[in-house]
Amino acid sequence: MLRPVLGSARVSRAGGRVLAIADFPKDDCFGETPETSTRDACATESPESGFNQRCNCAFLHDFLPVRRAIYPGSFDPVTNGHLDVIERARTLFDEVIVAVAINDQKQPLFTPDERLAMLRQAITIDAVRVAPMDGLLVEFAASEGAHAVVRGLRAISDFEFEFQMALMNRKLDPEIETIFLMPKEEYTYLSSRIVKEIARLGGDVSAFVPSLVAEALAKKFNPELGNVAAVI
Catalytic residues: 82, 106, 154, 192
The verdict on whether omega for the bond into residue 72 sits within 30 degrees of 0, i.e. cis, is no
85 part of the interface to ligand ADP, by CB under 6 A: yes
Burial 159-173, CB ≥16 within 10 A → b, else e? eeebeeebeebeeeb
Residue 60's Cβ-count burial label (10 Å; 0-12, 13-18, 19+) is buried
Identity of the residue, 36 or 157, whose beta carbon is nearer to ligand ADP in the bound complex = 157
Residues 149 and 159: their CA atoms lie apart, in Å, by 15
Q: Which range in 41-49, 119-127, 148-156, 195-203 contacts ligand ADP by CB under 6 A?
A: 148-156
Please work out the total of residues on this chain that contact ligand ADP, with binding judged by CB under 6 A. Answer: 17
73 binds ligand ADP (CB under 6 A): yes
> Is position 195 an interface residue for ligand ADP (rule: CB under 6 A)?
no
81 binds ligand ADP (CB under 6 A): yes
77 binds ligand ADP (CB under 6 A): no
Beta bridge partners of 12: 20
**How remote is the C-alpha of 183 from its chain's centroid?**
13
Which residues contact ligand ADP (rule: CB under 6 A)? 73-75, 79, 81-82, 85, 106, 151-152, 154, 158, 183, 187, 190-192
